[in-house]
Amino acid sequence: MADTQQPETGLTYAESGVDVEAGDRAVDLMKEAVKATHGPGVVGGVGGFAGLYDLSALRGYRKPYLATSTDGVGTKVAIAQTLEIHDTIGWDLVGMVVDDIVVVGAKPLYMTDYIACGKVVPERIAGIVRGIAAACSAADTALVGGETAEHPGLLGPQEYDVAGAATGIVEADELLGPDRVRAGDVLIGMASSGLHSNGYSLVRKVVNVAGWSLDREVSEFGRTLGEELLEPTRVYAADVLDLARTFPVLGEDGGLGTGVRAFSHVTGGGLAANLARVLPQGLEARVDRSSWRIPPIFRVIGQLGKVPQADLERTLNLGVGMVAVVDPSVTDQAVAHLGERGVDAWVMGTVEQGEAPTAADLEDPDYVQGAKGVDGGAVRLLGEYA
């Protein structure tokens, strides 16, 4: 047997780096924020083994579908850790999860979160969860449970990562998506709040190679680089669902209505790849780049890193966080409705009958046909940005 040095007394869990009491303190600090997201559908309180949700209020549904999504924040957490600002990352997490669910017209009912960290600092963990809870409240979604795991030796004392999952519900005959989209439909873009939570590996690489510090004042932003990079993801859930209710996909006779056909959440992969996912085969979305001006953060990153436009377009949202595909008869009303809710929206293109792609199309960075495993329609980016 190898010669090993034995401790004079038995090792404890705390000596291995896990502080159970700190975890309990974190729960005490966050529980009021979590409770604030609970409506009548939530059963029980904070701290149970499982979050419970009463579905009896949903008996009126004719044929309900459950929708689910899971995601994280990615390397944006490194910015939060460096700046020691932790109460905004929760908005990024909720936005990435619930806004995938509302794309199909589903209302997100409840969400859970998971935080892995090297060391539980109660105030830090509580700050993260308060951000998650605030964003859940904005999305009218209950935060019904979560887990904080301390992983000493795997993560450093200042390091953490976050993930979450949510469940929503939608009537089967009100499901939005490619089956609803028709030639002649109009594309309405909704402004992003900034980078959101995608492409930070590229962004951080550009910043590091350029030697820029996070406390650098950048005139184009009117604030520091770090403040700009940490701008929270916009949560569209309530606005998107309200738009779908106001301009329903079904007519009074149950047939195809003159309302919202589909939504596309612009996340990893950029605008074209995500828009292609909600188009049926045979149709092509034609997006006019000149219909919006790229916000300063994207221009700065592109110029600072000499990043090719094609790479920026397939990595970052470039100022468009969500797209609605609507019947042309409601275009103006839909744009105005979003504006009344504080969402900057504009007509950015149309859906047209497509043709079989040529060899030149398939080599063209401005053309995307199908994406992320979905063999759907095509997207063509046209013109130059304003």
Cβ-based neighbours of 342, under 8 Å, separated by 6 or more: none
Residue 40's pLDDT is 80
Residue 333's pLDDT is 96
Mean pLDDT by 10 residues, the chain (386 residues): 59 58 65 74 75 84 94 95 95 97 96 92 89 94 88 90 95 93 97 96 96 96 97 97 91 67 95 95 96 97 96 96 96 97 98 90 88 82 95
Residue 230's pLDDT is 97
Evaluate whether 261 touches 243 at the Cβ level (below 8 Å): no
Evaluate whether 205 touches 242 at the Cβ level (below 8 Å): no
Q: Which residues pair with 352 in a beta bridge?
A: 284
Tell me how far the alpha carbon of residue 61 is from its chain's centroid: 27
Residue 10's pLDDT is 64
Residue 116's pLDDT is 94
Q: Which amino acid is at 220?
A: E
Kindly calculate the radius of gyration of the chain based on its CA atoms and give it in whole angstroms: 23
pLDDT in tens, 106-141: 999 999 999 999 988 888 988 999 999 999 999 999
Which sign, positive or negative, has the C-alpha torsion 377, 380, 385, 386?
negative
279/63 Cα distance (integer angstroms): 24
pLDDT in tens, 224-270: 999 999 999 999 999 999 999 999 987 655 556 679 999 999 998 99
Residue 345's pLDDT is 98
Residue 20's pLDDT is 60
Ordered structural domains, the chain, with CATH: 18-171 (3.30.1330.10), 178-382 (3.90.650.10)
The beta-carbon contacts of 269-272 under 8 Å, at least 24 apart in sequence, are 269/314, 269/315, 269/371, 269/372, 270/312, 270/313, 270/314, 270/315, 270/316, 270/317, 270/318, 271/313, 271/317, 271/318, 271/320, 271/323, 271/379, 271/381, 272/313, 272/314, 272/368, 272/371, 272/379, 272/381
